[in-house]
Structure 1
Amino acid sequence: MGGCIGISRNRNNGTENISGNVTRPNSGSTRKNHPLCHETIRWKSDVPLTEGQLRSKRDEFWDTAPAFEGRKEIWDALRAAAVAAESSDYELAQAILDGANVSVPNGFLTECYDELGARYQVPVYCLSYPINIVKEDSGRDSPAECSEPVDGGTDLVLKLRLSSTCVDVKLPVCSNDSIAMAKKKLQSQEGLEPSRQRWFFGGKLLGDKLRIEEAKVLPGYVVQVIVNNEQTLRADS
């Protein structure tokens, strides 16, 4: 997107030195909003992280940030926008920011302001993977083989919220189905290829090899399904 400049973070303490906080503005200060930049922030962690460690670090930030300062509804909006932007669904991310009246003067979620002028800083590790991420054997991009469950399992219906349409759909599954198998069922029902689907529940990514019963999805709760665009370009690994 024209006018956007990539951000590179290279501080002495790596990711540990980048933390989120809220700063109260000077009285009467106003800042010009900027559309969210359609590009991935490239950065390198001084201490290489596995995908699991990065997810834990992100969860810790999002779970604790609202406890210090700022409005929880704004932090929730920023988290949802960050997830959407990382999957290259910038249209959804922008809609979330606009709906929460959040402005991004530099075009990136690293620095945001609510309508009252309070400043929110999101660390870069919550926005993209480092270029030196350590891949795990059971990484999120590893396709899991779909096999029939050993036991019969229990039939149940999952409530899924698709980022592509912002519509809730109901998906019949078996408790012994893996997430990969459930993705194939969603493909049959909604026409979404499994490679384009990323399932989240309770703020955590559900791996393809995880079984439905292991995800512990409570009745009536919603599983977020982030749908990547067909032409999504993944960040360098």
Structure 2
Amino acid sequence: MWQANCRRMHNIADWISGTVMGGCVGRSRMDGPGSAHGSTRTKKRGARNEPLKKDRPKWKSEYPMTEGQLRSKRDEFWDTAPAFDGRKEIWDALRAAALALECNDLELAQAIVDGACITLPHGSLTESYDELGNRYQLPAYTLAPPVNLITETSGESKLSESAQKQAQPPPSREEFQLRVRLSTGKDVHLTASLADSIAVLKKQLEKQEDIEVIRQRWFFSGKLLTDKTRLQDAKIQKDYVVQVIVNINPSVIPN
């Protein structure tokens, strides 16, 4: 997995060097080290810039995680993170820097961060700012594997999935009002239970707001929710807010 990550990192880094990094370097030269514009950006961001540290966060998954599960979890984050806040080119630069750091190429990671004009107030990719003052936060699982990462084999994968299902308590049938925030800015309340799947709730939203199922994309904590996901699986509770992106053109929305 990590060899594949290194290859992906170099591919992304090549793209970063020709777009994000090139544009930022050009602006830096034009502004000059003593320009008022450069000083304004620093004051607006209000954070000191520390060099990137080699230390990576240590974290433990709720259950033993395979490399494939970790890769899927990361892909879901990187694919959905730009949907709500920040600039896509900065997210791409952070992704390349995270891969470079995991491949122990600190020099390349620092070059990507500097080239994209990303400020690190603590010397870590867990919190950063772009030149416009936008804040970016990366979860620990995007920067390092868990301490309980296991080697994936077909037998162990099935055993792990079986253990996870047995460990989960039966879903509650008690109904509550689920708050759903549409990308149009409207908040909607749906009658739901922890046992309900996203597919069921999509149909309910369609009946209530006349929004076709194919036009709905449900997200929670930056993660895309599949139709088979139950509220309990995503740990969505009564007082939580679920985001729904309503697409105007349903032909481009995969189910």
Q: TM-score, normalised by structure 2?
A: 0.42
Query: More helix by proportion, 1 or 2?
Result: 2
Q: TM-score if structure 1 supplies the norm length?
A: 0.44
Larger Rg belongs to: 2
